[in-house]
Amino acid sequence: MASVERRWSPDGFSPGSSTLSNLKRKSKKTFFFGGTDFIIGPRIVPLPERLKNDEIYQGDDSGAAILEKQLASEEGQEIQYRTCSWQKIAALLFSQFIALPAMSFPFAYSQLGLGLGLAVTAVVAVISFYTSLIIWEFCLRHPEARDVCDIGQMIFGGKEWMWWVIVVVYVLNNIFSQGFSVLSGAQYLNTMTENDIIGGCRTVEFAITITIACWLASLPRTFSLVSKLGTISALFTFAKASLFY
């Protein structure tokens, strides 16, 4: 029983001996496919000192208890930050990590060959899938973690310098990701209008246009709204793959 804290449910749940085996089977399934039957295990690291005076984190500091308090604190609020379903998150991740990078697949496969290209794709997919499962379970056990910087700091024993290291790396990652998106958009517009526009700094003009468009699309305050744009991107990516691949 030490490894079973309670089921992820707004009402809380302490499994009895008669249902423990069924919950373990459900937990294994939801570990791979998600769902509300996943059993949240005990904390891996203690609650950070900066949060111990917050009423949400007082009393039972288990992951399930904190999650329930966080959800209850947002009830009736005009803006709620924990409204993203796994479907919406999937659309966001698809648009960020699959939709745009998929445009580079033909060139990558032309260099690696079909066999090696498929092998590398499978290896990267398995590593990414495993990593996402570990981070998901960690966040369930530690719902006070605000971002990847907090997670890294907690894993490295609460060292403040590690938080700043991950901040720098994360900012650089976002800068390069945005630059890749802007460059890809500018190159796409260049290709599509090659015979229609003559003269001018076309790449720079298109890059500025894409930058403004990306900025406008990022204005929604919550991921729940942004995910709708991600869904549209995912649909167009599927259409593109069906037509050209």
Task: Note whether residue 65 is domain-resident.
Answer: no
Task: Note whether residue 15 is domain-resident.
Answer: no
- Say what the pTM is: 0.66
Tell me: the pLDDT tens digits for 52-70?
A: 777 777 777 777 777 777 7
Whole-number pLDDT of residue 17: 42
Euclidean distance between the first and final Cα of the chain, in Å? 50
Tell me: the pLDDT tens digits for 72-121?
A: 777 777 777 677 777 777 777 777 777 777 777 777 888 888 889 889 98
pLDDT at 144 over 70: yes
Looking from the CA of 191 toward its CB, the CA atoms found within 13 Å total 6
Average pLDDT, the chain: 75
Amino acid at 177: S
pLDDT at 245 over 60: no
Amino acid at 33: F
Task: Note whether residue 38 is domain-resident.
Answer: no
Per-residue HEC secondary structure of 151-174 comes to HHHHHCCCCHHHHHHHHHHHHHHH
**Residue 119's domain spans which residues?**
84-141
Say whether both 157 and 220 belong to one domain. yes
Among residues 121, 141, 161, the one where a domain terminates is 141
- Grouping H, G, I as helix, E, B as strand and the rest as coil, residue 9 is coil
Burial of 5 (0-12, 13-18, 19+ CB in 10 A): buried
Distance CA 50, CA 62 (A): 16
Whole-number pLDDT of residue 28: 66
Number of domains composing the chain:
2
